[in-house]
Amino acid sequence: MTDKTLLKILTKRKPSIIFSVSGLIAGIYAGFMVWYALKTYIPGPLHTHLSYLAVIVLGISAFIAVYQIPDLLFANEKIEHVLPLPIDSGTVIFVLLKKVICLQAELCIAVYWAGFLFCFRNALAVSFAVLYCLIMLVSLNLLVFLLSVAIGTITPHRSVGYVFLVLQFAGPIVLLLDAGAGMTMVPMLTSRSVTLILCSSLTIAAGTLFVAARLRTKINACYLLAYQNVQGFQRKNSMVHSRNCLVRNPYSFLEWKRVTRNKALLFFSNIKNIITVLLLTGLLSKKLLGAELLVPYQIEILLLVSCAAVNTVSSTAYSSDGNRTFYAFLPISSQKMFYWKTLHGFLWGEVTILLFWAATLIFRKISLPDAILLLLYGTIINYVCVWLGVLFDFKMPRTANSTNELLHGNLSKFYVLIAVLVLTVIEINLWQKYCTGISLILFVTLCGVVLIFLEIAYSCRTGGELNDRSD
């Protein structure tokens, strides 16, 4: 059995040419824009730019490793079906780790490729940076894998799943804080200090690879124990959740189960949003808020709209619902389902809004009335974005082959982002031309209230259409 066939069995991922080509184009564009931004807005020597990108690549790669390795190698029920076959457990580990490393390597190449255009005379330094990141990626994934094996082996099966959840949810926050500290230290690095860091990190990577190679047999045995431990936890957990329960509100119950049963959806809608909020308010805003051309609170409003628009719960309201095919045969109202999907998306999105609001108060000095208006506007625009996200996904539900394709191939959130950004820009321009007598925050808040009334009017007008649609 080839590694490609084994990977297909373990992941059941159907290759998509369209998705691959789209990812390639996005990577090329993103890499060019990253280097353009570095050369234009962050002047400095080449080693500073390479260090910035190394922190970004390794930070995102660690984020991917912490999330995917426990899922692919320990919570994957398909591995149990291939273990009785004449396939070594080390082969399973190698194939799945290679999948994660290849994804991270693609990210690394996408980030660094444009460096050969902008720094053609220093192509050797850029090549060395790429090689360094690739070596560190392998070491990073091995460290996460060994940590996961240790957790799965030591932790009792009654609680091993919860420990992995803590690792997957708390780990990215710790990584984000470390990445933020690394980004602030980069401008202070000299060529000599960069060389010292490279040598020490490569030494650690070499030691990790050597230990993993020497203890391969022992690691494979411990991995099998950890895997069986995690599988025992999942079976016990599924038996507990199979008990009968009293459902008072079937609409709210169905929507709650849709969100919570998909760990990836819950993960991306919360942890990723937290990371987005911290990055936008802590890094981006510091660079842009000093611009004299910007009117007061313009950046805060645009960032707030961006955080509210990228709502995974609302943008996959119907695409992630396995029950939508049976709506036509069930004695439930699709109009009520639309309402509860909107409400649940709003509640999850409000967490992001509160985080952004708190972060903004920390980074910026805002008066009490403006702070209250900013929170009120965030709540209003959150509802507007959630309603649009549910509506777009209702009109264009997507059947995805995998959770990753569902979350990243769904265009509803991009439509919402474009729509609300255009509306916000129009509102700011209208305020600059006609309403400078009142504050910008108050003006956009009033505009948000008008948008909510328009959405309610549209819902009342098309209530029958929502009620009659089954898929």
The pLDDT assigned to 292 comes to 43
Tens digit of pLDDT per residue, the chain (471 long)? 577 788 888 886 665 676 677 778 888 888 888 888 888 878 788 888 888 899 889 988 988 898 888 888 888 888 888 888 888 888 889 999 999 999 999 999 999 999 898 888 888 989 999 999 999 999 999 999 999 999 999 988 788 877 887 787 677 667 766 776 777 787 777 878 888 888 888 898 888 888 888 888 888 889 999 998 888 876 665 554 444 555 567 777 777 777 776 666 666 666 666 665 555 555 545 544 444 445 667 777 877 787 787 777 888 888 777 666 666 666 777 778 888 888 888 888 888 888 778 877 877 777 888 888 888 998 999 899 899 988 888 887 776 555 555 665 567 777 888 888 888 888 888 888 888 788 888 888 888 899 888 888 887 776 545 544 444
Q: Does 300 lie in the same domain as 236?
A: no
Where does 74-114 have alpha helices with state H? 79-82, 89-112
Q: Does 300 lie in the same domain as 152?
A: no
| Residue ending a domain, choose from 213, 241, 269 | 241
CB atoms within 10 A of CB 20: 10
pTM score of the predicted model: 0.63
- For the chain, state the CA radius of gyration: 24
DSSP code at position 283: I
Tokens of 55: 């922190």
Question: What CA–CA distance (Å, rounded) separates 343 from 162?
Answer: 28
Burial 209-223 (b: 16+ CB within 10 A, else e): eeebeeeeeebbebb
The pLDDT assigned to 84 comes to 82
The pLDDT assigned to 290 comes to 47
Question: What CA–CA distance (Å, rounded) separates 309 from 412?
Answer: 10
Q: What's the distance, Cα to Cα, between the start and end of the chain in Å?
A: 40
Question: Please, are residues 143 and 101 in contact by the beta-carbon 8 Å criterion?
Answer: no
Q: Does 111 lie in the same domain as 260?
A: no
Question: What CA–CA distance (Å, rounded) separates 347 from 169?
Answer: 19
Tokens of 427: 């509102």
Q: Does 414 lie in the same domain as 276?
A: yes
Q: Does 287 lie in the same domain as 225?
A: no
Q: Does 407 lie in the same domain as 364?
A: yes
Tokens of 262: 């998909």
Which residues lie below 8 Å from residue 440, measured CB to CB, with a gap of 6+? 295, 296, 297, 298, 301, 428, 431
Question: What CA–CA distance (Å, rounded) separates 74 from 68?
Answer: 10
Number of domains in the chain: 2
| Residue ending a domain, choose from 184, 212, 241 | 241
Q: Does 200 lie in the same domain as 349?
A: no
DSSP 3-state of 159? coil
DSSP code at position 121: G
User: What's at 84, amino acid-wise?
Assistant: P
Which residues lie below 8 Å from residue 245, measured CB to CB, with a gap of 6+? none
CB atoms within 10 A of CB 312: 29
Q: Does 305 lie in the same domain as 228?
A: no
Where does 186-322 have alpha helices with state H? 191-214, 216-241, 250-260, 263-279, 285-288, 298-309, 312-315
Q: Does 463 lie in the same domain as 338?
A: yes
The pLDDT assigned to 242 comes to 44
| Residue ending a domain, choose from 191, 221, 241 | 241
Which residues lie below 8 Å from residue 220, measured CB to CB, with a gap of 6+? 88, 89, 90, 93
Question: Please, are residues 344 and 389 in contact by the beta-carbon 8 Å criterion?
Answer: no
Question: What CA–CA distance (Å, rounded) separates 110 from 34?
Answer: 10
Q: Does 292 lie in the same domain as 229?
A: no
109: left (phi over 0), alpha (psi -120 to 50) or beta: alpha
Q: Does 257 lie in the same domain as 140?
A: no
Question: What CA–CA distance (Å, rounded) separates 366 from 38?
Answer: 30
Domain span holding position 82: 3-241
Question: What CA–CA distance (Å, rounded) separates 229 from 80?
Answer: 12
Q: Does 235 lie in the same domain as 121?
A: yes
Question: Please, are residues 470 and 334 in contact by the beta-carbon 8 Å criterion?
Answer: yes
The pLDDT assigned to 470 comes to 42
- 457-460, long-range: CB < 8 A, 24+ apart: 459/338
